[in-house]
Structure 1
Amino acid sequence: MIPIRSASTAQQVHDWLYGCVLRGDLLPGMRLSETEIAEQVGLSRQPVREAFIRLASDGLAEIRPQRGTYISRISVRAVLSARMIREAVESDLARIVARTRPDLGAMERELDLQARADAESNVPAFVEADDRFHQAMAEAAGHPAVWQDLDRLKAQMNRLRHLSMRVFDRNQTIAQHRAVLTALQAGDPDAAEAAIRTHLRQMLTEVPHMMDAHPDYFTE
Structure 2
Amino acid sequence: MRQKITGGIPEGSLAATPFQISRNRPVALQVYEDLRDRIVSLDLRPGYSLSRAVLADFYGVSQTPVREAFLKLEQDGLVEVFPQSKTLIAPISIHKVKSTHFLRTSLELEVAHNLALSLDKSKIAPAEKMLAEQRHSSMEPGVFSKLDSAFHRSLFIAAGYEDLWEVVREHSGHLDRVRCLQLPTPGKIERVIFQHGKILDAIRASDLQTAESHVRDHLSGSLMELDTIIQNNREMFGA
> Structure 2 length as normaliser, TM-score?
0.84
Question: How far apart, in 2, do the equivalents of 1:133 and 1:43 lie?
Answer: 33
Return the structure number with greater helix share: 1
Secondary structure of the residue aligned to 1:73 is coil
| Aligned-pair CA distance for 1:7 | 6.0
Q: Structure 1 pair 43/96, CA: closer, same or farther in 2 (3 Å)? A: closer
Q: Give the corresponding residue for 2:208.
A: 189
Task: Look up the SS of the partner of 1:43 in the other structure.
Answer: coil
Match of 1:116? 136
1:63 is paired with a residue whose SS is: strand
The whole-number CA distance in structure 2 between the counterparts of 1:7 and 1:136 is 25
Distance, in Å, in 1 between the alignment partners of 2:116 and 2:131 is 18
What is residue 56 of structure 1 aligned with on the other side? 74
Residues in 1 aligned to 2:190 and 2:232: alpha-carbon distance in whole angstroms: 21
Q: Is residue 23 of structure 1 aligned with residue 41 of structure 2?
A: yes
Q: Is the 8 A contact 1:62 1:69 kept in 2?
A: yes
Of 67, 76, 94, 2:94 maps to: 76
| Structure 2 unmatched ranges of 5 or more | 5-16
Name the counterpart of 1:96.
114
Does the CA contact (< 8 Å) of 1:7 and 1:41 recur in 2? no
Task: Indicate if the aligned counterparts of 1:99 and 1:187 stay in contact, CA closer than 8 A.
Answer: yes
Match for 2:194 among 167, 175, 190? 175
Inter-partner Cα distance in structure 2 for 1:155 and 1:48? 19
For 1:212 and 1:90, locate their aligned partners in 2 and report how far apart those are by CA, in whole Å: 28
User: Residue type matched to 2:62 in 1?
Assistant: S
Identity %: 30
Could you tell me whether the CA contact under 8 Å between 2:139 and 2:189 is conserved in 1? no
1:157 equivalent in structure 2:
175
What secondary structure is seen at the aligned counterpart in 2 of 1:74? coil
Letter in 1 for 2:72: R
Q: Which runs of 5+ in 1 are unaligned?
A: none
1:95-133 per-residue CA deviation (whole Å, 9 max, x = no partner) reads: 22111142121111111122222xx13222211221122
Contact 1:113 1:126 in 2 (8 A): no
1:184 aligned partner, one-letter code: I
Between Structure 1 and Structure 2, how many residues are aligned? Answer: 218
Cα distance between partner residues in 2 of 1:109 and 1:72: 35
SS at match of 1:201: helix
The answer to which structure, 1 or 2, has the higher relative contact order (CA under 8 A, 6+ apart) is 1
How many Å separate the matches in 2 of 1:19 and 1:173? 21
Which stretch of the first structure deviates more once superposed, 171-180 or 147-156? Answer: 147-156
Counterpart in the other structure of 1:42: 60
How far does residue 64 in structure 1 lie from its aligned partner after superposition? 2.3
CA distances 1:57-90 after superposition (whole Å, capped 9, x unpaired): 2211111245411100111111111111211221
Distance 1:16 1:127 in 2: 15
Give the Cα–Cα distance (whole angstroms) in 1 for the partners of residues 195 and 140 of structure 2: 19
TM-score by length of 1: 0.90
Secondary structure at 2:204 match in 1: helix
